Chains A and B, each alone.
Chain A
Amino acid sequence: MIRFSHVHKSFAHTGAALADVSFQVNKGEFVFITGPSGAGKSTILRLCFFEERPTQGEVKVYGVSSATFRPPDVPRLRRRLGIIFQDFRLLEDRSVEANVAFALEVTGTPPSQIAPRVARLLLQVGLSAKATALPLELSGGEQQRVAIARALANDPVALVADEPTGNLDERATRGIFQLFRDINANGTAVLMATHDLDLVRRSGCRTIEINRGQVVFDSASDGGFRPSQPLKAMEGDA
């Protein structure tokens, strides 16, 4: 599903951000990416949705390879991913339901299907009651739920979340995390960068730790959590 093969990334002014990063996320997996600030977590996620290209090596996501992709592949890929950020990135001048509908309109969903889809998505994230509110009238946790509903709009195969609970308090964090678990239980892979080591430890999910642009620990290969299927059988998924 997501595969990094010897990925290097350097930026013009800041130099190397990632060095020889290799890992694979399989269908339906839940994977945390942890590491100190500046380690390269966000860079890894941006590579996943092709906001950045690797300087060396290959990133392959849902069949789209950084080595061979063409520009129209990028929007097509992003429709298969749900992307979530710490700062929610909602359109603040549109209602909650309009924000979710936006993702469906953009991808050419027939208008008659949009309203029922939006209602179902809001139900799924527990925000049916606030459909007509504006984002700034909601709490941080609620805003993040709107962003998650939007990310789910096009039935993504994977969610890519960069510190989705970074701005939330303990309770809201737990709620959002539970939502991610539920989504994952329905078969959507989740790749989440986070600082919240407590959350990571308690969850028991696979964890990849990054430090100074390198993978220093991957619980899938260092004992602890193991993929439920042998890796060989899943090569074709990437």
Chain B
Amino acid sequence: MRLAVREALLAVRRAPMLSALSITTIAFSLFAFSLFGLVALNIRNALRTVEDRVEIRAFVADGTGAEATGAALGDISAFPEAASVRLVTQSQALDRARRELGEFSDVFEEGILPASIEVRLKVGFRDPATVRAVAKRIEVYDFIDDIRFGEEWVEKLHRLRTIATLAGVALGLTFAIVAIIIIGSTIRMAVMARAREIAIMRLVGATNGFIRAPFLIEGVLKGTLGGLLALVLAWVALAIINRFVVQATFFDAWMGTVGVLAGASIGLAGSALSVGRHLRRV
């Protein structure tokens, strides 16, 4: 093992240009991937805040007793989809309308706006079908006059989200595949550059495991360095965007760690693949 580490470091030192080239290649392909990831992350965050506004409003008929609405409130709170349920009384509705309309506040008279039950839904229950189903279940109370949830708007939001997710997965896969191919070929180059050494190792009786070990270590090393470099580049890019374009969020520590680990695993997998192929061929 110690020898394998030494050989791996020696290989990096003997071919500094090639090593630097493969680390930067890995870094840039992971960087492209992480930029894409940042875009996806921020779009998702934006959609999430919009989605938070998905709300069902059930208008309560005038003269409904507090007992009836209170019972309904309790029932609805027990729905697995419900995140929060609250009652907006007639006077609260009026206050809100006055606040929102400012100077036209005097067009409303006391009692003209109905009371309503407002239901917000948990993440994952904001698609049109679920929203509609929940609305249906609320509508069964006979003191509910009318129910609204911005059907068209929910529909549109959902479509946008589906498109964003699909595009995200497709683009993400493409970027990941491109990154793996590029990383694989830079490691292939490192293996080719040492084909002679590998042939000699085999002649003097080195086992395949022994030959493989330094390459795997080298792959992990380059992958990790490339991943870290990519993270730094992404962070710099984000700082520039934050400063000159829009406020955007960066990966959290967990996602950053996963990214670097992904770099290391791609390095490992790329090395294992190219060395394995080389060893099988000769």
- Contact present for A93 and B205 (CB under 8 Å): no
Q: Mark B194-216, 1 if CB is under 8 A from A, else 0.
A: 00110111111111101000000
Q: In the complex, what distance in Å separates the CA atom of A106 from the CA atom of B6?
A: 13
> With contacts A89-B199, A91-B196 known, is A106 near B14, CB below 8 A?
no
Is the CB of A137 closer than 8 A to any CB of chain B? Answer: no
Is the CB of A102 closer than 8 A to any CB of chain B? Answer: yes
Residues of A within 8 Å of B14, CB to CB, are 93
Tell me the residues in window 48-96 of chain A with beta carbons closer than 8 Å to chain B beta carbons: 49, 71-72, 75-79, 83, 89-91, 93
Is the CB of A221 closer than 8 A to any CB of chain B? Answer: no
- Contact present for A107 and B203 (CB under 8 Å): no
Is the CB of B50 closer than 8 A to any CB of chain A? Answer: no
Measured between C-beta atoms, what is the minimum distance from A136 to chain B in Å? 14
Measured between C-beta atoms, what is the minimum distance from B90 to chain A in Å? 84
- Contact present for A105 and B3 (CB under 8 Å): yes
- Contact present for A89 and B203 (CB under 8 Å): yes
- Contact present for B207 and A72 (CB under 8 Å): yes
- Contact size class for A? 20 to 34
> With contacts A93-B14, A105-B3 known, is A150 near B204, CB below 8 A?
yes
Q: In the complex, what distance in Å separates the CA atom of A185 from the CA atom of B199?
A: 30
Measured between C-beta atoms, what is the minimum distance from A190 to chain B in Å? 17
- Contact present for A78 and B197 (CB under 8 Å): no
Residues of A within 8 Å of B197, CB to CB, are 91
- Contact present for A75 and B200 (CB under 8 Å): no
> With contacts A105-B3, A106-B210 known, is A91 near B200, CB below 8 A?
yes
Residues of B within 8 Å of A71, CB to CB, are 208
Measured between C-beta atoms, what is the minimum distance from B122 to chain A in Å? 57
Give the contacting residue for A78; candidates B3, B204, B208, B210; CB below 8 A.
B204
- Contact present for B200 and A89 (CB under 8 Å): yes
- Contact present for A154 and B205 (CB under 8 Å): yes
- Which residue, B3, B196, B197, B204, has most C-beta atoms of chain A within 10 A? B204
Residues of A within 8 Å of B196, CB to CB, are 89, 91
- Contact present for B207 and A75 (CB under 8 Å): yes
Tell me the residues in window 8-30 of chain B with beta carbons closer than 8 Å to chain A beta carbons: 14
- Contact present for B205 and A106 (CB under 8 Å): yes
Residues of A within 8 Å of B203, CB to CB, are 49, 78, 83, 89
In the complex, residue of chain A having the shortest beta-carbon distance to the beta carbon of B201: A106
Residues of B within 8 Å of A83, CB to CB, are 203-204
Is the CB of A189 closer than 8 A to any CB of chain B? Answer: no
Question: Across chains A and B, which 4 residue pairs bring their CB atoms closest together, nearest first?
Answer: A79-B205, A78-B205, A106-B206, A103-B204
Residue numbers of A with Cβ under 8 A of B are 49, 71-72, 75-79, 83, 89-91, 93, 102-103, 105-107, 150, 153-154
| Sample (15) of A-B pairs whose CB atoms are under 8 Å apart | A75-B202, A75-B207, A78-B203, A79-B204, A79-B205, A83-B203, A89-B196, A89-B200, A89-B203, A102-B201, A103-B205, A106-B206, A107-B205, A107-B206, A154-B205
